[in-house]
Structure 1
């Protein structure tokens, strides 16, 4: 037989650690539910029938992010070099995503990701006159340069992060806080345009198991350390 006899110092050391581990596990459980709902929302919006852009509240980027949409308007062609976003090696060819701007029927202007284009590839022309695009809406309202990103070079048309203010100056008009990522076959899309990848990592279940598992192990060690045999003989 064993009897539980907690000691002061071990108890004072274990309780805060146990609370911390349980708190981390609970936080990751909440993150798991949030990320699961987010992925489901993204997949639903991206896989739904297109919604006219005129019906979307573009001033609320989170509410329209990843929505499949159709937009009618004209491409805006600025003077100067071709604008490319990012650097990517695809099938052994170095290139980036071809950028454009699109003025809609109601007077709004959106940045457009026309798809991957190799540096050595022939530049596809922008459609002339009114066209109807099919695209996925992407939230670009929180874009900012991080410490490992090189600086943008507007003079050469190289963009490593989407500075909507500077790009708006480049295209001669303010841009909405969302962008359009053209779907394959849409007017203006490059031959290498592809649907956006929905690859948000969701590792929170593993973190939940880790933190709760550590809390359980700590509790077992504490109970074993704080118990003593009661059937000892002199």
Structure 2
């Protein structure tokens, strides 16, 4: 349990470094080339990029928030960008209902963020995890939609200190229980 607490303290430092990198990425103004294949390196997340959506293959409506904090339906387009490949995900804005916009594609500029479909722990442990695709959150929404809120590195949770304290607390409780058990045995 103490080793798990120490590991969580190490993870806390790693997560702080990752958040600092992502925050620095978000402050860079130069456009980067959108990554062709997943996984997307951390150095590209929260950077500005642009791409050409040749055709919307399907829509994936999900819950989301606009830049004013109002909730709605996030319209995520799965776009074809060429003859082959996995395509790209583009968040084109927030709608009030599940009706997809009439947008058929085009040039989109925005921010690269982690995609909505991340592999589960079970998939990662069993080796069946498919690399997660990134998503481009459009700077300007398509007509009829509101601009989606762009996540930032600061949105990543960093609760490793709380986990470390929890493991150290469990170790202390186990030590107290052990001491009480030994004391009871010696009294007999």
CA deviation digits over 1:124-162, x for unaligned, max 9?
53455xx35222243568446x9xxxxxxxxxxxxxxxx
What runs of 5+ residues in structure 1 fail to find an aligned partner?
A: 1-20, 147-163, 165-175, 227-234
SS of residue paired to 1:83: strand
Match of 1:203 among 138, 159, 182: 159
CA deviation digits over 1:77-134, x for unaligned, max 9?
34xxx62332458888753433241527xx8832212122221778353455xx3522
Check whether the contact 2:48–2:111 (CA below 8 A) recurs between aligned residues.
Answer: yes
Match of 2:136 among 176, 181, 188: 181
Check whether the contact 1:61–1:139 (CA below 8 A) recurs between aligned residues.
Answer: no
Check whether the contact 1:135–1:186 (CA below 8 A) recurs between aligned residues.
Answer: no
Pair 92,84 (structure 1): closer, same or farther in 2 beyond 3 Å: same
Pair 57,215 (structure 1): closer, same or farther in 2 beyond 3 Å: same
Query: Normalized against structure 2, the TM-score is what?
Result: 0.62
Per-residue deviation at 1:205?
Answer: 0.9
Count of paired positions: 169
Check whether the contact 1:117–1:192 (CA below 8 A) recurs between aligned residues.
Answer: no
Match of 1:61 among 21, 40, 43: 40
Moved >6 Å (runs of 4+): 89-93, 186-189
Q: Does 1:32 align with 2:12?
A: yes
Task: Calculate the aligned-residue CA RMSD, in Å.
Answer: 4.3
Pair 189,36 (structure 1): closer, same or farther in 2 beyond 3 Å: farther
Query: Normalized against structure 1, the TM-score is what?
Result: 0.52
SS of residue paired to 1:49: coil
What runs of 5+ residues in structure 2 fail to find an aligned partner?
A: 123-129, 184-188
Check whether the contact 1:68–1:135 (CA below 8 A) recurs between aligned residues.
Answer: yes
Distance 1:95 1:141 in 2: 16
Pair 64,103 (structure 1): closer, same or farther in 2 beyond 3 Å: farther
